Chain A
Amino acid sequence: MDADRIRAHLDPIRHEFADPRSLVMPALKFAQTEKGHLTREDMAAVAEATGYSPSFIESVASFYDRLYTRPVGNRVVSVCVTLSCMLRGADEVWDALCEHEGVDHHHGGTSADGRITIQEAQCLGYCDKGACIQVDAEETKGPYTPEEAVKLVEELREAPTPAELWR
């Protein structure tokens, strides 16, 4: 994403912050919407648009779980594996999804066709709906059985991404 677009996105909220550094996070989140993750060029553009060094921008981006400095699949499926969800079968859901997408059972990963990334999430705040799953950064739902979870990724695989829909 280019710096001008990021600037245009930030202009309406600039006045809300006494220090422009606060715009770094909104800028990063916005820049990520284009490709689903932040490329070197995206981070350089955020640096340009906000006036901080690219290294600083990358240091911020890399701190947060939901900012991706490495490529991810078209859809990101985050499986909550923290205690409450674990007690309600999160590990089974996780294993079923890793198996189904052919990714590493320890770290998750992106399916060979590049459409689905399976990743662990820490408590998503939907413990009452455990085992819960968040799709992209949008929506969390549950409870899922392993079979339902597999059905979900199959649907996601076919469905257009929000970005595709928007185009």
Chain B
Amino acid sequence: MAEYAPVDLTVENQVEFELDGRRVAAPAGTMLADACYAHGVEIPIFCYEPRIGPPIGACRMCLVEVEGMRGLQTACSTPVAPDMVVRTTTDAVKEAQDGVLEVLLANHPLDCPVCDKGGECPLQDRTFKFGPGTSRYVEPKRHQPKPLNLSHRIALDRERCISCFRCVRFSQEVAQDGELTMQERGARSEITTFSGDPYRGRFSGNIIDVCPVGALTSIPYRFVSRPWDVQNTPSVCGLCPVGCNTELTVREGRTKRVTGRPEPNPAVEEGWLCDTGRWAYDASWSQARITAAVVREATGDRTATLEDAVDGAAALLRGRTAGILVGTAATVEEAGIAADLAGGALPGAVVARMGIPGGALAPLRALPGAQLGDVDDADLVVVAGGDPSAQQPVAELRLRKARRFGATVTGCGPRPHALEALGTFIRTAPGDLAAGVASLAEAIAAATRPVVMWDEADLAGEPAAAEALAAAIAANPAARQLELGAEVNGSGLRALGLPDAGAVLDAVRAGTVDALLLVHADPLDAPGRAAWDAALEGFAGPVIAIASHADATTERADLVLPALTMWEQEGTLVSMNGRVQRLRPGARGPEGAAAGWELLVALAHRLGVVPGYRTAAAAFRAVTAGRPAFAGITPEAAGVLGVPLAAPAQVAGASAPPPASGEGVPLVATRTVYGGAAARRSAALADTAAPAELRMAPDTAAAHWVNDGDRVVLRSSSGESGRLTVRVGDGLPEGVVFAPLGAPGSPTEGVLPADMAPVLVRVARVEAG
């Protein structure tokens, strides 16, 4: 984990001081620990974690000598001052370091050989580097009950804890979930939740990363591997559009662990991950994983080798006009190669992307954009629509941090959500986001460095609000917009210029295509599913799916090509803020599977048109060539931390959705990343799976003749939902119902149109609660 704050040694007006006899400089206000690190001198630390908050000076590991100051000073909390004379290697300093390590180790078990942290443990490392050789502690060590489960995912071994307060400060100050605290006092101090309840949090896993010892460990990773027999690979999370940078720990070809990056990306996640991103990796080998190609024949399904299956797919497609549908989590390479097929191997193919058309969002996207990291120094953060905690989890942490740094937080939207507690929020009626936006304009105009976060799905559905918001932002030249995107690689697919899924759907309906190729696309589980169901009903042509997991669409397909997942393949994703970042293959994936882009290249070969690229990097160059959004961006330039797109990822056409029609009550749908689709596939996250619930206020429930606990289905002009359980709750606005997207079984998706435009639903009880 990042331990020291990055120090920029290039900015103007640095303070000069003396470090172990050298004349060096650092920006005023930099803490000595960070300044020393920047100049190659490691000051050992335990409690200091600049990302968590200001120093607390608790572990006393970082003592150094500062001339003219009485006693030793904690380098973590002493800012550099002009001409300060700092000594870090004197006998007094050494003795202090020795002393702190000695007392910390006095009661620390010597179980490094069986500790998951062994080999990557700051306490172990610092003991080697700075510590005493032998222990003089002859008393019996303090014993604690053996490791207990802090939650389904985190084990706590109290004997190993050195009370550095990092985990509790993370919980209290960064996640602000109020769950983990230090209890009791003195040597009996221990970290715990309220009465030992399980730790309930969406970001709980970060405490494992910040723990400098093996006290907090990941249960799925317990005893799985040792640091010396794993490889660590920096990658990106492909579960939501935030694009958090991750580190994959791989052993024997499998992803064994996902953690925050040791060198975090300050522009995105700053090293923090949400629990979904951290633990969903076991979906790689879940029940639903497709491990071999499936050929569906009249006589039944049969599995095939990859070779045969690709041959089979080519045979099915040859001579046909294909519709190619690219899913929202497909990489730039996959989408780009798919688009390329239309110009060569599959002439005349119609290629489109799933996700929100978003034509109405052009004016917003054209405004100066911010990266998540820019939220730190905003004085005002506006959240227009959406529910970042549920839909773009790590954005929540950045928002909380901005608030801690003194920013005013305000916003509007139709959903009650967790971040509303950070400031004044205006509850808007569904379809009337414009009213909320209007009331925010003044604050945006008055702020010095405002950042306006806006929800893609909500604003796409309300063009008037989008237009008003764009105007409000444009009115303040200092204001920047930050898109809270709805889909993993939505920006990447738009940047490639792919039209929305309607193009393929229309072609299927019109019969102008007679084969269908789905690339990580599952339209039968997505909004608009009713339309696709109907369209595919009478579709006679072959359906070929490239997919990693079984879903409604692979069930329907005639041939399924098993694809690798985001933990296993190379590729490029563009975050909601237009950051181009690279997936790096960690694990190998099942024998019989291949990366989506490789499958597409192989398909092109079989169809007789050999593409001019054979690697993912070359494919990236080829498919982004001539795309203004990607101008100047190469895999090398993206590097480890990624680069922003050269131009906003716009789409042509002003396809403003029609206003909600039909009759019934407005439905507000929220995509849940925590407890959503990933939870369905991951054993580690199974207990988080968000129930398929329809929430509403008491009077609304009464008006629809339903009670808490009833099972209902919804009907809209777009279709019918699966079963949902009614939850009547106080504090919800009347006259609107709320349901999650991505709940197990995707029940809500059925009533929504593909463009996620607002809908009215009728609530029908099918079973009393």
Which residues from chain A contact B172 at a C-beta distance below 8 Å? 56
Which residues from chain B contact A63 at a C-beta distance below 8 Å? 183-185
Q: Do B195 and A40 have beta carbons less than 8 Å apart?
A: yes
A56 to B193, CA, bound (A): 9
Which residues from chain A contact B193 at a C-beta distance below 8 Å? 55
Q: Smallest Cβ distance from B531 to chain A, in angstroms?
A: 46
A44 to B194, CA, bound (A): 9
A56 to B192, CA, bound (A): 10
Q: A40-B195, A43-B194 are in contact. Are A58 and B179 (CB under 8 A)?
A: no
B residues lining the A interface (CB < 8 Å): 172, 177-185, 192-195
A57 to B194, CA, bound (A): 9
Q: Do A55 and B180 have beta carbons less than 8 Å apart?
A: yes
Closest residue of chain A to B176 (Cβ to Cβ) is: A53
Q: Smallest Cβ distance from B189 to chain A, in angstroms?
A: 9
Q: Do B184 and A55 have beta carbons less than 8 Å apart?
A: no
Closest residue of chain B to A52 (Cβ to Cβ) is: B178
Q: Do A53 and B184 have beta carbons less than 8 Å apart?
A: no
Closest residue of chain B to A53 (Cβ to Cβ) is: B178
Interface CB pairs A-B, < 8 A, 28: A40-B195, A43-B194, A44-B194, A52-B178, A53-B177, A53-B178, A53-B179, A53-B181, A53-B194, A54-B178, A55-B178, A55-B180, A55-B181, A55-B193, A55-B194, A56-B172, A56-B178, A56-B181, A57-B194, A58-B181, A58-B183, A58-B194, A58-B195, A59-B182, A59-B183, A62-B184, A63-B184, A63-B185
Which residues of A32-49 have CB atoms within 8 Å of chain B's CB atoms? 40, 43-44
Q: Smallest Cβ distance from A38 to chain B, in angstroms?
A: 11
The 4 A-B residue pairs with the shortest CB-CB distance, nearest first, are: A53-B178, A59-B181, A55-B194, A54-B194
A63 to B180, CA, bound (A): 15
Q: Smallest Cβ distance from A106 to chain B, in angstroms?
A: 15
Q: Smallest Cβ distance from B511 to chain A, in angstroms?
A: 60
A59 to B188, CA, bound (A): 12
**Besides A54-B178, A63-B184, 5 new A-B residue pairs in contact (Cβ under 8 A), listed by A number:** A53-B194, A54-B195, A55-B178, A55-B193, A56-B181
Closest residue of chain A to B178 (Cβ to Cβ) is: A53
Q: Do A62 and B194 have beta carbons less than 8 Å apart?
A: no
Q: Smallest Cβ distance from B193 to chain A, in angstroms?
A: 6
A41 to B177, CA, bound (A): 20
Q: A40-B195, A43-B194 are in contact. Are A55 and B185 (CB under 8 A)?
A: no
A86 to B517, CA, bound (A): 87
Closest residue of chain A to B177 (Cβ to Cβ) is: A53
A54 to B196, CA, bound (A): 11
Closest residue of chain B to A64 (Cβ to Cβ) is: B185
A59 to B179, CA, bound (A): 11
Which residues from chain A contact B183 at a C-beta distance below 8 Å? 58-59, 62-63
A43 to B193, CA, bound (A): 13
Which residues from chain A contact B181 at a C-beta distance below 8 Å? 53, 55-56, 58-59
Q: Which of A44, A54, A59 has the most CB of B within 10 A?
A: A59
Which residues from chain A contact B194 at a C-beta distance below 8 Å? 40, 43-44, 53-55, 57-58
